[in-house]
Amino acid sequence: MKIKELQKAIQELPFNKRMKPDLLGLKNDNVEKLYQGIKKGKIQSEEEAIQEIYPSNRFPSQSLWKLKENLIERIGNSAFLLLTKDYFSSYEWAKIQTYKLYVIFKIFSFTPFRTLAKYYGEKAFFLAQKYHVSDLCLSSAIELGILFGLVIRDEESFKFYNEMVDKYFEILQVEIKLEKILITFLPKLAIKKWASPSEEEETRKIISIVNNLYKKGTSHNIEWYSAFILSNCHLRLKEYDEATEICNNCLKNLNSFNFKVHETLLFIFESKKIPGLLINGNFKEAEISITKCLDIVPKNSRNLLIAKQLEILISFYKKDYTIAFNIVKSIYKDLKPESEIFEVYNAYASILTNRHFRLRRFLNQVPVFSRDKKGMNINILIIEILEYLRKKIYSKVIDRTAALERYSYRYLIDDKSTYRSYQFFQIILCLEKGAFCKKEVDPLAEPYLQALKEHPLSKAQQDYELEVVPYEHLWEFVRSCLR
């Protein structure tokens, strides 16, 4: 490990006032000198370390390498001093204690200290069993079976742990199969969240495989692996009710375990319900879920921004544009987000509440989204038109009409994932033809409004994030800006 990496590693550790070098076992003067130099920023490179510690050494590079290894080993050995209970969730800490007991058991199993080996082995097994740490259940059951069968000669205990080996071997096999499906499935989900007709068969095959593997209450991992895969599969197929039911059942089962599961899992399955609830118009349930999400998620977690995104979308879908605006402003004040999606939210919220909005600044703030021609760039173009309409600068809308028409035919017309966006663009193109007059525009826009009605969000083959504000709502705003 280079000095730069070691410096980063030391900075990442949660040192506190109690953490003195002697607690790390830094009795060697040079090890302590290296540690203090890196921690205080006096040593930032190999050259500086050699100059500070080995100015006259014949083989300084080799000596420094050994010294760095010594420091890394000291930090590793002191992990339980450095990383306290407060640093982890209760479930993570329980798993750490389980692994700690198992390591102590393994160490004693290589010695004549059978009583200690037996004590730590059984304690590790039953703690692993309590917290559903299946790999440790299997490993400790195998080791304990050997200990009781060949060394202690306890036939009853030997039989028990042999049965546990069979049980946890089967459980671990299922967990590994589900984990493999999960790892294979995640990249596809990252590319797009809905399944095209050609992908539907594969998605339904995954659902069938997971349903056959799943056994309720078998293990913590089986429960959430299965629910995560199944809920995402149903969301990809636009089967929102099924996805919501899976999430509800998973939350119920996770909360039924005799230990507190990780808050992130509760957040994942509570938040996964929201897109379907929104699209189906079940705003009350969506608000209940987002309240739970905000209660669960830690204030310094990146999941807080995800929760805030969902909270903003709920406000947009409910036409509570002022609430959306206030949430966006509080996010910029307290969380300072870097994602361009919040620029889009701010633009919509500002325009729809008739507040100050700088279009040119906005266009400069979304360089990544502007390259996503079949995705978020659609929102950028819509925002530009909405701002001109709000200010009744109809000439600017006319100037953009030809470009919008070319854009819609080039990027939107032949893709089912942009079907609704294409229809809304056609409505925008009707504005000039109708001289921005409601009486003239209404009949021209009617066929496209009907197309949106016949292809609601619940049936649209598009990511729910694409339509930040439903086009039906945007049409109401557009119409209010006409003569």
10-residue block means of pLDDT along the chain (483 residues)?
A: 82 56 57 82 85 83 86 75 71 87 90 89 93 93 92 91 94 94 80 70 90 84 93 88 92 88 89 89 92 87 89 93 93 85 92 91 90 87 92 90 88 83 90 89 91 86 84 92 87
- The alpha helices in 237-317, defined as continuous H runs, are 240-256, 263-279, 283-296, 303-317
Q: Please report, for residues 58, 126, 212, 276, 352, the alpha-carbon distance to residue 199 in angstroms, rounded to integers and kept in the order given.
A: 65, 43, 20, 20, 37
Longest dimension (CA), the chain: 95
38-65 burial: b if 16+ Cβ within 10 Å, else e: beeeebeebeebbeebbeeeeebeebbe
Statement: the pTM of the whole predicted model exceeds 0.85: no
Predicted confidence at residue 17, as pLDDT, reads 41
Q: In angstroms, how far is CA 56 from the centroid of its own chain?
A: 51
Q: Do 39 and 57 belong together in one domain?
A: yes
Contact (CB, 8 A) for 399 and 437: no
- Domain membership flag for residue 217: no
Helix axes 377-390, 394-407, angle to 10 degrees: 160
Predicted confidence at residue 15, as pLDDT, reads 55
> Over the Cα atoms of the chain, what is R_g?
30
The residue out of 32, 65, 84 marking a domain boundary is 84
Angle (nearest 5°) at CA 117 between 112 and 122: 160
- Domain membership flag for residue 309: no
393-409 burial: b if 16+ Cβ within 10 Å, else e: ebebbeebbeebeebbe
Predicted confidence at residue 208, as pLDDT, reads 93
Among 377, 406, 383, residue whose Cα is nearest residue 396: 383
Contact (CB, 8 A) for 138 and 163: no
Total tally of structural domains belonging to the chain? 2
Q: Do 79 and 92 belong together in one domain?
A: no
- Domain membership flag for residue 174: yes
Predicted confidence at residue 191, as pLDDT, reads 62
Predicted confidence at residue 82, as pLDDT, reads 64
Q: Do 22 and 75 belong together in one domain?
A: yes
The residue out of 126, 148, 180 marking a domain boundary is 180
- Domain membership flag for residue 317: no
The residue out of 84, 102, 119 marking a domain boundary is 84
Contact (CB, 8 A) for 390 and 399: no
- Domain membership flag for residue 57: yes
**Encoded amino acid at 346, one letter:** N
Q: Please report, for residues 310, 332, 457, 476, the alpha-carbon distance to residue 277 in angstroms, rounded to integers and kept in the order given.
A: 11, 27, 12, 23
- Domain membership flag for residue 155: yes
- Domain membership flag for residue 18: yes
Q: Do 33 and 108 belong together in one domain?
A: no
Domain extent for 168? 86-180
